[in-house]
Amino acid sequence: MKQTLAHIALVVDDYDKAIEFYTRKLNFRLEEDTVLTETKRWVRVVPPGSDGCSLLLAKAANDEQRSRIGNQTGGRVFLFLQTDDFDRDFENLKKHNITIVRGPVVESYGTVAVFADLYGNLWDLIQPNA
């Protein structure tokens, strides 16, 4: 048996604003942007070099969903972006004025910093130890 995690839905307020942030500031690749209805699109972005799980940017459709934008996990780190070059990617976050919440720090498992995306969702940028 084989299973894989294909997509993680991230609730956003605007498709194009989210696409711009993830592709221009985090250097993600836009994998798909398909119009499904007048108000709904299937939008997937992936980190550079990744061939695994993608983020599905899901536009909030009602007040309940809008209330979750930026806080899908109750204030905990939500997503973990693993890198092969922490310094390069940390400098990129600073260059694009992305909010650094904590770090960087060296832990037993690697170097890590917490940053917030444009909505306030918390991410770990992590380079595992070799």
Give the domain CATH number at 18.
3.10.180.10
**129 in Cβ contact with 82 (< 8 Å):** no
Tokens of 83: 């890198």
Do 3 and 60 reside in the same domain of the chain? yes
How crowded is residue 75: how many other Cβ atoms within 10 Å of its Cβ? 11
Which range of residues forms the domain containing residue 22?
1-69
| Mean pLDDT of the region 97-101 | 97
Do 81 and 64 reside in the same domain of the chain? no
Q: Which of 53, 69, 85 is the last residue of a domain?
A: 69
Measured CA to CA, the distance from residue 117 to residue 120 in angstroms comes to: 5
Do 60 and 6 reside in the same domain of the chain? yes
Do 56 and 83 reside in the same domain of the chain? no
Q: How many domains does the chain have?
A: 2
pLDDT tens per residue across span 55-95 = 999 999 999 999 999 998 988 999 999 999 999 999 999 99
